[in-house]
Amino acid sequence: MDYLKWNNSIAAHFFKNEMAGRSVHLYVTEELITDIGQESGADFSDFIQAIKTGLPGAKRKGLCVKALETQENWRRELDYPPYIGYLALFVLAAGIEGDFATHSYYPRLRTLLGEEPTPGQYPSFDRMSKLWEDLEKWSNEDKSGELGIFNSNSVGKRNHIGLPIAQTLLTEKERRALPAIFAAADLDPISYPAEGAIALLLVKHGRKQLRERTLSLLKETRDSDELRQALLEWIIDELRDWDGTAEDSGKTQIYGILRLCCKLDSIAKRATLSLRCSTKHEFPEEDLLLFLEDNSQSFSCYEESGGLSSPLISESDGKPLVGCEFDWLKGLQVRSADSSSTKWCFKLPASPIRVFVNGDTQGLPGIVEVRQLPTQQPFYLAAHEQCLELLTIWGELSCQGFEKLQIIDGLPSGWHLFKAQAACSDELIKDQYPILAFPTNIRLELAGGIRLERGNKFFKFAPPKIFLQGGSESIKVYCNNQLLDSRNSAGNYELPADIPGETKLLIEARSGEDIIKRCSLLLVENYSLPSQSNAQQFDRFGKLQIGDNESAGVAGALVRGVDCPDFNFNTFLPIQGKQRIFYVGKEPGQIAICPAESLPTDWEPVWAISKGRHRGQAMFCGTNLAESQPLISKCKDRKKMREWKEILWYDRKKISPPDRSNLKVLWQHFQKEAERV
């Protein structure tokens, strides 16, 4: 195999469609290189020789100089970056065993190349960071994460050596073992604890699956240890991508977490607690039936939103499961029936302290349990009496507005409820109760929005929100060099509403001039559906149609061989009781009031506004945001023009605007134009 074939084969192993939107690490071993070359009859020595030879026509001498030469203008003709083969070699050197000093890198590299294992920097190796940075740009910006997301993170003080070392912190075997460890440790990919708590859980439940080197790093207690921080960041990436599936005694199970939800009645001094299932896995279409371990009780629920189910309901009497009836110090576990085709298991982890936040962010009433103490925002704590002495001291010294709530009904025996406006420090309590530790790693994450196909492509009308976790006041977030304002002190950011479609966005968290974290995404406004001839079709039973172009079939939104009825806007906002739906177009007079009037055929609605005896709601129903701007024109029908102005301007205080910021701006434009009519 020549160098380019080796390069592309290694690249295709790591960067592929299955890794879309997920973190990629170039963990390369001699075994992997041997497996990749086996199909072509090439071995490990062939790979080393190809690396030394380089690309055909290479003009420069020296390994690192040849590697730099491959970066020049490669995007014009090649599918993969042509320097990945060299980066694979550098990672190989970081992981080989032998009679080397612990932190000795260059003798390892020279040994791989068949050279004398002398110390000292390899010629031009300090310039290799350009290749790692270009790989990050290619995967995140050029490809928008469609083949995976690579971040050029370094560990240690010597940046150029730290880049390949950062790829070796987890072996492939360890990475494959993580789902089972996550399940045993009761970790939730939706709401997970701070890094210190995760490290303790992995040490406890991963002794048999993780290397001694990995366990030693996790046991390290210094938050400043860069290797430990990089390892935990990698593990959290894997946790966030985990859908709850894991092997248990040779059988596949889907694991999730039971989360407490609470409605507080301050007047009655009562807490009403329920339990919901939390999972990243897709819920079944039918209700999920779950049993206690002793099969004494059964409960059901269904998917509601954001990976959360409806409250668990008892099958015997149809009443909600009361959350205070169980011992929170011991936890709780419910499972699906052994006879069910898909095995489910949900756990309420045992803990003497439980953290709650306002449920508004997840569209839920009351407060919802989370696994991490939020920074600079209000929270609630349910604590067992064994924790009260230290908890009270910490609350009074390290929190703002810390107070005990007087709850006389609804909590388990021996438990108390507290409220605080914000936690300012975790120093007094994080060692004793790791669930109250702040995150130590800075993370920049995309949440929500509607993705288009794979990777970080989103529809412009439904962009994601940006969350900065573990940040401080000194860290600012930028979008294409434009400073973003946080919606609140919790590190929640929204993208500017005026960003044009088909624009690649580079999101950066900066501290002064230093870039701490970055990610990228693409907002798509004009999207063409794939042709029916290229799309995989499924029949009405969900079976793949092969070579059948005549029968009725479906592929996503594409339907073939079926006469579909016209879309009925009344199903978009169903009319209830005396409620009316006002369909409003972009020109004065374009208004239809249902159910009294039928929808017009000569204009398209932009807004569907529900209006009853109480407050109304505006919902965008246009086909294209850019083509939905209000357009002032003359209207001969004065009655319709008056109705158009009335619903948009005179009734503006009675109608709730849409939630998304870009739609709010459009709604305000309509109101201003209606005022002028």
Q: How confident is the model over 146-152, as a mean pLDDT?
A: 87
CA dist 436 and 126 (Å) reads 41
**Whether residue 390 is found in the same domain as residue 320:** no
> Average pLDDT over the chain, rounded to whole?
86
pLDDT at 20: 84
- Report how far residue 308's alpha carbon sits from residue 497's, in angstroms, rounded to the nearest whole number: 29
Q: Is residue 467 part of a domain?
A: yes
Would you state the pLDDT for residue 535? 62
pLDDT band at 228 (very low <50, low <70, confident <90, very high): confident
Q: How far is CA 219 from CA 24, 203, 213, 349, 427, in A?
A: 25, 7, 10, 22, 18
Q: Are 668 and 547 within one domain? A: no
Predicted model pTM = 0.74
**How far is 150 from 152, CA to CA, in rounded Å?**
7
Long-range pairs for 391-397: beta carbons < 8 A, 24 or more residues apart? 391/353, 391/418, 391/429, 391/433, 393/428, 394/428, 394/429, 394/436, 395/420, 397/428
Average pLDDT, stretch 492-518? 84
Residues 129 and 44 in one domain: yes
CATH code, domain with 479: 2.60.40
Let me know whether 485 and 507 are in one domain. Answer: yes
- The pLDDT score that the predictor gives to residue 573 is 53
**Cα-atom radius of gyration of the chain, to the nearest Å?**
29
Tell me, yes or no, whether 147 lies in a domain: yes
- Examine residue 427 and state whether it is found in any structural domain, yes or no: yes
Kindly report, residue by residue over 443-479, the tens digit of the pLDDT. 888 888 888 766 788 888 888 888 888 777 788 899 9
Over residues 122-151, mean pLDDT: 89
Residues 334 and 367 placed together within one structural domain of the fold: no
Q: Which of 436, 463, 492 is the last residue of a domain?
A: 436
Q: Which amino acid is at 604?
A: E
Domain of 290, in residue numbers = 252-261+273-348
Taking every pair of C-alpha atoms in the chain, what is the biggest distance, in angstroms? 92
User: How long is the chain?
Assistant: 677
Do 112 and 182 contact (CB within 8 A), yes or no? no
Asked whether residue 314 is domain-assigned, the answer is: yes
Q: Is residue 232 part of a domain?
A: yes
pLDDT band at 156 (very low <50, low <70, confident <90, very high): low
- The reply to whether 344 and 386 lie within a common domain is no
User: Taking a C-beta distance cutoff of 8 angstroms, is the pair 624, 665 a contact?
Assistant: no
- The pLDDT score that the predictor gives to residue 454 is 65
**What average pLDDT score do residues 515-532 get?**
76
Give the tokens for residue 330: 């011991």
In a domain, 390, yes or no: yes
Q: Percent of the chain scored above 70 by pLDDT?
A: 92
Of 145, 168, 191, which residue is a domain's last? Answer: 168
Q: Span 345-374, mean pLDDT?
A: 90
Same domain (yes/no): 18, 156: yes
Do 374 and 406 lie in one domain? The reply is: yes
Domain-embedded: residue 632: yes
Same domain, 294 and 163: no
- The residue from 322, 348, 374 where one domain ends is 348
Q: What percent of the chain has pLDDT over 90?
A: 42
Lowest mean pLDDT among 119-128, 258-267, 436-445, 573-582: 573-582
Q: How many domains, the chain?
A: 7
Mean pLDDT of 290-316: 86
Does residue 247 form part of some domain?
no
Domain match, 639 and 660 both: yes
Mark whether 46 and 125 lie in a shared domain. yes
- The pLDDT tens digits for 2-44 are 999 999 999 999 999 888 888 899 999 999 999 999 988 999 9
- 62 and 154 share one domain: yes
Least confident range from 130-144, 215-229, 569-583: namely: 569-583
The answer for residues whose C-beta is within 8 angstroms of residue 50's C-beta and 6 or more apart is 1, 2, 3, 6, 85
Average pLDDT over residues 475-488: 83
Least confident of 126-135, 238-247, 405-414, 624-633: 624-633
